[in-house]
Amino acid sequence: MLYLALLTLTLAPSQFLDSEVSNTVRDYLSRLNLAPTRYSIVVTDQVPEGAALEHWVEASGKDRAIFLFDRQFLLHLSRPERRVVIAHEVGHLVPECRLLRRRINQEICADLISLQLVPVDDVVALLTKAVAMFRSYSEQRAFTYRLELIQKNWIPSGKVALRTPRLRRLPIRRFKQRYCG
Ligand SMILES: [Zn+2]
């Protein structure tokens, strides 16, 4: 009995996490009117960037998406912070973000889209945490830049300007794209 109770305690957070993640992804896709032909959600221990999205369009024109989340990374975050991560990954699927070529602009675009789903304060909190969590200079610089941009674009009325500087629009790439978290 004790063993069973311990087993339940061990399994429970993971199971809750998996269903929390898939419910949130589904909810955000529908709120953004996004409907990839097929998508899957994978929570694993092998996503070094914390979260990632793989998206590609098949020759038939059907699009496929795989949401990848690192379990340990998610468990280090609060529930509102996990929602920010998920909102950001779903944001990468928005066509206007996929049109962008430069990685940093794709990230900024996904951040701005995420503000339609989660409070700006939560986005700022997560990016602040990310600056501390990711140790490499280039990652820290990218997170700091994204954080500053969100803070600069924040309008007190509660609206966020969906304009980002110097974004170059290019045709949607048909090969497999992987976006970072
Ligand atoms: Zn990203």
Condensed to tens digits (0 to 9), the pLDDT of residues 99-122 reads: 898 999 999 999 999 999 999 999
Closest to 167 measured CA to CA, from 110, 91, 101:
101
Instruction: Return the HEC string of 2-39.
Output: HHHHHHHHHHHHHHHHHHHHHHHHHHHHHHCCCCCCEE
In order of 71, 91, 116, the CA distances from 29 in angstroms are 21, 9, 12
pLDDT for the residue numbered 39:
93
Tell me the CA–centroid distance for residue 61 and ligand 1, in Å.
24
- pTM confidence score: 0.80
Tell me the CA–centroid distance for residue 15 and ligand 1, in Å.
25
- Surrounding ion ligand 1 within 5 Å at CB are 107, 110, 179-180
pLDDT for the residue numbered 151:
85
Tell me the CA–centroid distance for residue 111 and ligand 1, in Å.
8
Report the percent of the chain where pLDDT is more than 70. Answer: 77
Tell me the CA–centroid distance for residue 89 and ligand 1, in Å.
6
Taking the chain (181 residues) in consecutive chunks of 10 residues, what is each chunk's mean pLDDT? 51 79 96 91 91 91 93 93 97 92 91 94 92 84 91 61 44 48 54
**56 within 8 A of 177, measured Cβ to Cβ:** yes
Tell me the CA–centroid distance for residue 84 and ligand 1, in Å.
11
pLDDT for the residue numbered 11:
52
Q: To which H or E segment does residue 67 belong?
A: strand 63-70
pLDDT for the residue numbered 168:
39
**Distance (Å, whole) CA 68 – CA 79:** 17
Domain ranges of the chain: 2-179
The DSSP result for 95-124, as a single string, is: HHHHTB-SHHHHHHHHHHHHTTTS-HHHHH
pLDDT for the residue numbered 57:
87
pLDDT for the residue numbered 180:
63
Tell me the CA–centroid distance for residue 181 and ligand 1, in Å.
4
Residue 137 tokens read as 């200079």
